Amino acid sequence: MQMILATHNKKKLDELRRILQPLGYAVIPGDALPDVEETGQSFAENACLKAAAGCAASGLPCAGDDSGLCVNALGGAPGVFSARYAGQHGNDGANIRKLLSALGELPAEQRAARFVCAICCCFPDGRKITAQGVCEGKIAFTKSGAGGFGYDPVFLPNAYPGKSMAELTPAEKDGVSHRGAALRALAAQLQACE
8 Å CB contact between 60 and 124: yes
- Listed in sequence order, the residues at least 6 apart from 75 whose beta carbon sits closer than 8 Å to its beta carbon are none
pLDDT single digits (tens) 122-172: 999 999 999 999 999 999 999 999 998 999 999 999 999 889 999 999 889
- Measured CA to CA, the distance from residue 121 to residue 102 in angstroms comes to 35
| Rounded Cα distance, 4 and 50, in Å | 11
Instruction: Give me the number of domains the chain comprises.
Output: 1
Q: What is the DSSP letter of 35?
A: P
Does this model's pTM top 0.95? no
**Cβ neighbours around 173 below 10 Å, total:** 22
- What does the angle CA 96 – CA 176 – CA 129 come to, to the nearest 5 degrees? 95
Rounded Cα–Cα distance for residues 126 and 87 (Å): 35
Segment 169-192 shows an average pLDDT of 88
In this structure, what is the dihedral angle of CA atoms 190, 2, 68, 94, given to the nearest 10 degrees? 170
Q: What is the CATH number of the domain that holds 174?
A: 3.90.950.10
Q: What is the pLDDT of residues 6-63, one digit of tens each?
A: 988 787 788 778 777 877 878 888 888 888 988 999 999 999 999 999 999 999 999 9
Catalytic center residues? 66
Domain holding 153, by residue range, is 2-193
Phi, psi of 3 (to 5 degrees): -145, 130
pLDDT for the residue 194: 60
By the 10 Å C-beta count (0-12 exposed, 13-18 middle, 19+ buried), 8 is classed as middle
